[in-house]
Amino acid sequence: MSTHSRHIQLMDTTLRDGEQTQGVAFTPMEKVSIAKALLQFLRVDRIEVASARVSEGEKEAVSLINQWAQQEGFAERVEVLGFVDHTRSVDWIKSTGGRVINLLAKGSEKHCREQLGKTLEQHSIDVLQTIGYAHEQGLKINVYLEDWSNGYKDSRDYVYGLMERLQPAPISHFMLPDTLGVMSPDEVFASFSDMCQRYPALQFDFHPHNDYGLATANVMAAVRAGVSAVHCTVNCLGERAGNASIAEVAVVLRDKMSMELSVDESHLVRISEMVENFSGKRVAANAPIVGADVFTQTAGIHADGDQKGGLYKTKLGPERFSRIRSYALGKMSGKASLKKNLEQLELDLSEEDQKKVLARIVSIGDSKQTITTDDLPFIIADVLESKSYQHIKLLACSINSGLDLPSTVSIRVDVKGEKHQTTGAGSGGFDAFIDAIGKVLQHYDYTLPTLADYEIRIPKGGHTSALTECVITWDCGNELRKTRGVHVNQVFAGILATIKLINIQLHEMANSLEA
């Protein structure tokens, strides 16, 4: 058992194994962008970027990545999966400027016999032939033992026999995958302990899959057993249930096992968002480390404990990942939850007013509506009959849309007591409204921020008459802000969310002028 602190390499295979996720295909420039972010900002030790001989587009991407890596000193940290085909994979990798081949050998007797129709001896000869050629061409060589987890379980003699034949070869890492994600932590620890003790001079990588939801736990077991490197992907991308999450693995190895890592945690969320955008695969709001909600306290008792002494804070703090803690507002909110949000907005209310606002929050929460910090000023204004955030009021709005025709809108608004009426046109009702409201706001030296995201939701199982919730994320330069609108018409829900943002920013502009 190897429990002492040591450096564990993290090899990210988002661009190779992660791209086997159903429906995911990165463009060459997306691959280059992700590769740069992984090596330059997240600082992973190695990246696996492609499989050899897949397509011309893949070849273009790998060539661009290798060209950049050569210039930045990362050349030997970029790896490509190759096959036991003597010269073809090696030549493909060489033609892209690659320096490392991850050779895919058969790690189970069943795969060797039934898929290749070969004996251990025959397959070993083929593998060594490809290794010999790769070595002659100056490539660094790692070897995958495909389906090793099942191969070790079904026929250890085959695995040992393959290892005995390969270990004299110039192989840097023997990479042992749980290809189908079938192992438990106990099985991982026992099998890796055996491999590490039987071959103490060799470097072993663990390549886990998450079919049973055990990938991160299995990583811990493999590290305890003595592996020197672990393979991960961003956002758990990968075939079927995906691979191990690099965010989870990095944090667990540091916090729970005191291992040394190269990864810069402050960039985990940024890389997660990049891959989310390029892959089209949304990250669950409750995903550890990178999920939108994981640093949000909902229960009032938790906010109270944090207010009085940080009682519900742990080593897993949001600051590590360039994030902030928030306190949700809803039916389980208490005085402390409200107070935390008021502090964030730099608002001060009397005890009596806080009780009134809290009662309204709980009432709204009973109807299952999401309440954000940006909604709070409007709840306060409604409860206290305050005009502070009523800088702009939408008095009337009429939208006309037709099939294959541009949409038009006519609006009447009150801005700081002045009434305006104007029209706008656009590719849809909301776009037309943005055109019209922009004409009004130019008189007040105000320009709407650009949209970063636009989400429309209705309750699960909702009817056609159900309320529509529109959540808009705005790019406000140094921060992202979210506002919400609720209406039976989804276009008007977006309009109400826009009016909320304008009111907030006009209020801030007024405060800054007073200061």
Contact 421, 410 (CB under 8 A): yes
CA distance 239 to 241: 6
Encode 186-200: b = buried (16+ Cβ within 10 Å), e = exposed.
Answer: ebbbebbbebbeeee
Closest CA to 230 of 210, 216, 212, 241: 216
Catalytic site residue from 16, 46, 77, 99: 16
Distance CA 135, CA 131 (A): 6
Parallel, antiparallel, or unpaired: how do β-strands 46-51 and 9-12 relate? parallel
User: DSSP code of 234?
Assistant: G
C-alpha to C-alpha distance for 413 and 507, rounded to whole angstroms? 17
Residue owning tokens 């849309």: 401
Read off the amino acid at residue 106.
Answer: K
d(CA 129, CA 42): 36
Does 484 participate in catalysis according to the annotation?
no
Judge whether 45 and 13 are in contact, CB under 8 Å.
Answer: no
How distant is the alpha carbon of residue 182 from its chain centre? Answer: 25
> Residue 146 catalytic?
yes
Asked if residues 78 and 301 have their Cβ atoms less than 8 Å apart, the reply is no
Q: Which of 48, 79, 146, 469 is catalytic?
A: 146
* Phi, psi (rounded to 5 degrees) for 402: -145, 160
Question: For 479, how many CA atoms within 13 A lie in the half-sphere containing its CB?
Answer: 5
- Angle, CA 147 vertex, CA 85 and CA 217 arms, to 5°: 135
> Per DSSP, which regions of 253-404 are E strands?
296-297, 326-327, 392-402
DSSP state, 23? T
Q: CA–CA separation, 436 vs 227, rounded Å?
A: 62
Q: Which of 170, 176, 204, 11 is nearest to 104 (CA)?
A: 176
Q: What is the dihedral of CA 503, 371, 460, 495, to 10 degrees?
A: 0
Pairing of strands 140-146, 100-106: parallel
Give the three-state DSSP class for 325: coil
> Measured between alpha carbons, how far is 513 from 510 in angstroms, rounded to an integer?
5
* Catalytic residue set: 16, 146
